[in-house]
């Protein structure tokens, strides 16, 4: 046993991994009961992306990885993702500049993702993401059209049906607020009213220590409406950030929150 962040941790058991892991897991279930959901977190992946994936009940999987500019083994990476069930969370740092993930990759099916990318096109979260929560930090940005397309696809009901929360930040390049709001035909709450605060429980927080349990609050007078069910999403655009929070409420129910 060893300790990490003051938490007991089993280390260096390379032999009989499957049986040892199953024994430890069953021990936890005996103590805490089958209603407990455990997290299997992969922090360090071998160069060939071969890693041990246990077949256990009540376990969610999280993957943390980094791809540098020279990385080319996309087929192997896709196989690596395919070896997991649907992932609870993926944290990815990518310096690649081209879109190489298959649109149906299990990466895009993860419940939540946290991505630091060189250009917003890899991975193309704004086009292919199928999960619930996404945080995207982008070094180079210059395409408001992609954000406009993202919002309009959500509005039409064509994509992002499960989405609860998106936070996008550009480190270099301004997000053109007026252009985006005009193109998405945003609606506005009366300026004399206090808009409601959008915040949902985080699916997984990679920082864990002293982490906030909920997503960052979104307080905005601007919103859009989805055509298929009349549900609302608050949208907050600042100099280099955009926050998008989906409400489980129709427009009528949403506006009633301010009465």
All structural domains of the chain with their residue ranges = 16-256
Judged against a pLDDT cut of 70, whether residue 13 lies above it is answered with no
Residue 83 backbone phi and psi in degrees, to 5: -70, -15
pLDDT at 158: 94
pLDDT digits (tens, 9 = 90+) for 55-96: 777 778 888 888 777 777 788 888 888 888 888 999 988 776
Judged against a pLDDT cut of 80, whether residue 159 lies above it is answered with yes
Bridge-partner residues for 213, per DSSP?
A: none
pLDDT digits (tens, 9 = 90+) for 166-220: 999 988 777 788 999 999 999 999 999 999 999 999 998 877 655 788 999 999 9
**If you average pLDDT over residues 132-145, what whole number do you get?**
84
> Around Cβ 115, how many Cβ atoms within 10 Å?
21
pLDDT at 5: 56
pLDDT at 71: 76
pLDDT digits (tens, 9 = 90+) for 214-254: 999 999 999 999 999 999 999 999 888 999 999 999 999 99
pLDDT at 244: 98
| Paired tokens of 247 | 């409400």
Cα–Cα nearest to 219, from 247, 190, 246, 194: 194
pLDDT at 24: 73
Instruction: Report CA 122 to chain centroid distance, whole Å.
Output: 14
Query: Would you say how long the chain is, in residues?
Result: 259
% of the chain at pLDDT higher than 70: 78
């Amino acid at each position: 046993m060893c300790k990490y962040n003051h938490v007991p941790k089993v280390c260096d058991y390379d032999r009989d991994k499957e049986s040892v892991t199953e024994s430890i897991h069953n021990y936890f279930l005996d103590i805490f009961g089958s209603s407990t959901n455990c997290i299997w977190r992969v922090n360090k992946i071998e160069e060939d992306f071969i890693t041990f994936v246990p077949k256990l009940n009540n376990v969610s999987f999280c993957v943390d990885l980094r791809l540098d500019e020279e990385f080319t083994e996309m087929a192997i990476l896709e196989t690596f993702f395919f070896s997991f069930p649907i992932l609870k969370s993926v944290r990815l740092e990518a310096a690649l500049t081209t879109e190489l993930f298959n649109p149906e990759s299990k990466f895009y099916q993860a419940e939540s993702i946290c991505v630091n990318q060189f250009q917003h096109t890899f991975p193309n979260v704004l086009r292919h993401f199928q999960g619930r929560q996404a945080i995207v930090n982008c070094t180079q940005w210059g395409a408001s059209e992609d954000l406009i397309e993202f919002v309009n696809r959500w509005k039409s009901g064509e994509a992002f049906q499960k989405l609860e929360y998106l936070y996008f930040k550009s480190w270099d390049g301004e997000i053109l607020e007026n252009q985006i709001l005009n193109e998405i035909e945003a609606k506005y709450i009366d300026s004399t009213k206090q808009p409601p605060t959008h915040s949902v429980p985080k699916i997984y927080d990679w920082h864990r220590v002293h982490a906030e349990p909920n997503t960052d609050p979104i307080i905005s007078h601007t919103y859009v409406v989805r055509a298929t069910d009349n549900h609302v999403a608050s949208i907050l655009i600042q100099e280099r950030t955009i926050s998008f929070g989906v409400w489980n409420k129709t427009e009528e129910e949403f506006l009633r929150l301010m009465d």
